[in-house]
Chain A
Amino acid sequence: MMRFSTLLKHPADWMTGEAEGNGVVLTSRVRLARNLRREPFPGWATKERRVSVLERVKPEVEGLPEMKDGFSQELDGLSSLQKQVLVERHLISREQAARGEGSAAIVNRKQALSLMINEEDHLRMQAIRPGLALTEAFQLVSGIDMKLESSLEFAFDHELGYLSACPTNLGTGMRASAMLHLPGLVLSDQIGQVLQAVGKLQLAVRGFFGEGTESLGNLFQISNQSTLGESEETIIRRLERVIEQVASHERSARQKLLEDDPEMVFDRVGRAYGALRHAHIIASKEALNLLSLLRLGAELKFFPPATVSACDSLLMEIQPAHLQLHAGKKLTPEQRDAIRAEIIRTRLQSLDPPVMSEKQEDQDWEDPPDNIVDL
Chain B
Amino acid sequence: MICMSHETLAQFAAGDMDAAEISDVEAHIAQCPECRRRLEAVRKTDAALCLLKRAEPSAQALLATRRLISDEIRIPQPSEIMTLDDVAEFLRIGPAGMEEIAEELPAFELAGEIRIRRAKLLEWIEHRERQYLRQTIESRTARISRTAFQKGA
Q: Do A and B bind each other?
A: no
Chain A interfacial positions (CB closer than 8 Å to B): none
Chain B interfacial positions (CB closer than 8 Å to A): none
